[in-house]
């Protein structure tokens, strides 16, 4: 039996977790380089938590400059079995206005200048990303949102763009036309690396704006995002606290095998 350890990656506006008890900072060395920050360790209702602010203390790492490999690696070394990503996003749907939480279940990876695998020359592996979100974690998140009275939409595709500039109108209209739900800059390669590390992953995409496609809203600016960010952050912290209190103390095997993704992924011969 494996004890559950819940990892939380905080995005823009989420640089700490107020509900944590027995708080301590932990610096874990990684062969992949420096993570965004030391981990904040603690417990909520007895459940061990490891928190990492993705953009670093003081929001110093732009999405392209985040060391995603080191971040996932230190969370794995901290024993994290289940990982929740919290991030701000723009919306492609009228019915997903700013303030909405979307429990996304698919990703479209449009990033192009990030290290996106732990594998490569010498040790080759191809994990499945058909279903990037762990369905069990998704259900726990939905239940926590309901218990806290937080409106959360279940399912949707998150387009992960490289940034740091926002999308052009042509890009925004294309993604909308394709039927995607939200856009952000950080969930990839995070979700891919979590899968390679055999950590169950789920993402809460918190809408701050309508990007630039909406005829009755100005194109998104950082000021718009910051205006919505603080109320989203308050709700996200309540969501995490509830999730942690209600979370099973023993790690539940992932129904789609996220937690043993490498069983079927390694292609390099062991003796190579």
Query: Of 73, 82, 109, 209, which one is the catalytic site residue?
Result: 209
**Catalytic residue list contains 209:** yes
Q: Which of 73, 105, 109, 211 is catalytic?
A: 211
Whether residue 65 lies in the annotated active site? no
- Shortest separation between residue 4's beta carbon and ligand ADE, angstroms: 30
**Contact indicator for 193, 142 with CB cutoff of 8 Å:** no
Cβ closest to ligand ADE, residue 82 vs residue 211: 211
Nearer to ligand ADE, 88 or 188 (CB): 88
Q: Are the beta carbons of 150 and 232 closer than 8 angstroms?
A: no
Q: ω into residue 164 within 30 of 0, thus cis?
A: yes
**Which two three-digit tokens encode residue 77?**
């070394």
- The answer to whether 103 and 142 are in contact (CB under 8 A) is yes
**3-class secondary structure, 91:** strand
Asked if residues 42 and 261 have their Cβ atoms less than 8 Å apart, the reply is: no
Shortest approach of ligand ADE to residue 159 CB, angstroms?
Answer: 8
Q: How far is the CB of 91 from ligand ADE (least distance, A)?
A: 8
**DSSP annotation string for 28-90:** ---TT---SSPEEEEEETTEEEEEEETTTTTT---GGG--HHHHHHHHHHTT--EEEEEEEEE
Q: Which is nearer to ligand ADE, 114 or 242 (CB)?
A: 114
| Rounded-to-integer distance, Cα 119 and Cα 198, Å | 13
Under 8 Å between Cβ of 248 and 4: yes
Q: How far apart are CA 125 and CA 121, in angstroms?
A: 10
Q: Identify which of 119, 243, 117 has the alpha carbon closest to the alpha carbon of residue 191.
A: 117
Residue whose CB is less far from ligand ADE, 1 or 230: 230
Cβ closest to ligand ADE, residue 161 vs residue 199: 161
Binding site for ligand ADE (CB under 6 A): 88-90, 161, 166, 183-185, 208-209, 211, 220, 225
Q: Please, what is the minimum distance in Å from the beta carbon of residue 245 to ligand ADE?
A: 29
**CA pair distance 161, 106, nearest whole angstrom:** 14
User: What is the smallest separation between the CB atom of 177 and ligand ADE, expressed in angstroms?
Assistant: 16
Q: How far is the CB of 87 from ligand ADE (least distance, A)?
A: 7
Query: Running DSSP on this structure, what letter comes out for residue 176?
Result: H
Q: Which is nearer to ligand ADE, 112 or 149 (CB)?
A: 112
Tell me which residues are annotated as active site: 209, 211
């Amino acid at each position: 039996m494996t004890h559950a350890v819940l990892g939380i990656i905080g995005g823009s506006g989420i640089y700490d977790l107020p509900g944590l008890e027995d708080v301590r900072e932990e610096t874990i060395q990684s062969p992949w380089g420096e993570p965004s920050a030391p981990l904040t360790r603690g417990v909520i209702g007895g459940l061990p938590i490891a928190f990492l602010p993705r953009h670093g203390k003081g929001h110093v790492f732009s999405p392209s400059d985040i060391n995603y490999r080191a971040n996932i690696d230190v969370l794995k070394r901290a024993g994290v079995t289940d990982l929740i990503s919290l991030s701000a996003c723009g919306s492609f749907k009228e019915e997903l206005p700013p303030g909405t939480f979307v429990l996304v279940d698919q990703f479209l990876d449009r990033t192009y200048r990030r290290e996106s695998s732990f594998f490569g020359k010498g040790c080759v592996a191809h994990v499945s990303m058909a279903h990037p979100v762990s369905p069990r974690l998704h259900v726990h998140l939905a239940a926590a949102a309901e218990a806290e009275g937080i409106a959360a939409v279940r399912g949707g595709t998150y387009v992960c763009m490289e940034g740091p500039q926002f999308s052009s109108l042509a890009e925004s209209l294309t993604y909308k036309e394709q039927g995607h739900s939200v856009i952000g800059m950080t969930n990839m390669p995070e979700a891919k690396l979590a899968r390679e590390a055999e950590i169950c992953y789920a993402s809460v995409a918190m809408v701050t704006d309508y990007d630039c496609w909406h005829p009755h809203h100005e194109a998104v600016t950082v000021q718009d995002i910051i205006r919505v960010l603080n109320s989203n952050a308050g709700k996200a912290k309540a969501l995490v606290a509830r999730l942690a209190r209600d979370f099973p103390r023993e790690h539940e095997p992932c129904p789609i095998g996220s937690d043993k993704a490498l069983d079927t992924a390694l292609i390099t011969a062991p003796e190579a």
